[in-house]
C-alpha cells in the first residue's frame, strides 16, 4: 500500500500549526502591551497628584496647610502628606529659585519609594 500526497498533507498541517502559533504569539504580545499600559496608569496618576499637592504646598497658605484635610482630598494618609511636605521643604531649602513646585514633585514621584501610595 502506498500513501499518495502524505508529504503535501504533512506540510499543509505543519503550516497551519505554525500559523496558529504565530497568531497566538501576536495575541500574547498584544496582551502584554495592554498590561504594561495599564501598569503605567497608576504611576502617572500618582505623579500628577504629587505635582498638584506640591503646587498647593508651595503656596504656603495656611488655609491649605491642614495635612489631614489635604490627605482626605488626595485620598492618601496625612502622614504621607507630612512626608511630602518635609521633602518639599528640604528641596526648597536647596534650590528655591531653580525648581518650581510642579517639577519638584515630579522629581519626588520618581524616587525609589512610590510617590503617593
115 assigned to some structural domain: no
Q: What is the pLDDT of residue 106?
A: 53
1 assigned to some structural domain: no
114 assigned to some structural domain: no
| Averaged pLDDT in 10-residue chunks for the chain of 117 residues | 82 95 94 92 91 90 91 95 89 56 52 44
Q: What is the pLDDT of residue 94?
A: 57
Q: What is the pLDDT of residue 112?
A: 44
52 assigned to some structural domain: yes
The closest of 107, 67, 70, 113 to 91, measured between CA atoms, is 107
Residues found in the chain: 117
Q: What is the pLDDT of residue 58?
A: 87
Q: What is the pLDDT of residue 2?
A: 72
> Number of structural domains, the chain?
1
117 assigned to some structural domain: no
98 assigned to some structural domain: yes
> Exposed, middle or buried: residue 42 (CB in 10 Å: 0-12, 13-18, 19+)?
exposed
10 lies in which domain range?
6-109
Q: Are 18 and 26 in contact (CB under 8 A)?
A: no
The whole-angstrom separation of Cα 74 and Cα 57 is 13
Amino acid at each position: 500500500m502506498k500513501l499518495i500526497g502524505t508529504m503535501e498533507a504533512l506540510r499543509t498541517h505543519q503550516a497551519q500549526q505554525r500559523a496558529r502559533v504565530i497568531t497566538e504569539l501576536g495575541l500574547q504580545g498584544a496582551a502584554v502591551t495592554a498590561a504594561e499600559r495599564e501598569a503605567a496608569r497608576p504611576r502617572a496618576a500618582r505623579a500628577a497628584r504629587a505635582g498638584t499637592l506640591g503646587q498647593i504646598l508651595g503656596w504656603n497658605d495656611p488655609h491649605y496647610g491642614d495635612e489631614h484635610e489635604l490627605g482626605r482630598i488626595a485620598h492618601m494618609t496625612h502622614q504621607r502628606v507630612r512626608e511630602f511636605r518635609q521633602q518639599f521643604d528640604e528641596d526648597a531649602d536647596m534650590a528655591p529659585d531653580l525648581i518650581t513646585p510642579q517639577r519638584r514633585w515630579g522629581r519626588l514621584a520618581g524616587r525609589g519609594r512610590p510617590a503617593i501610595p
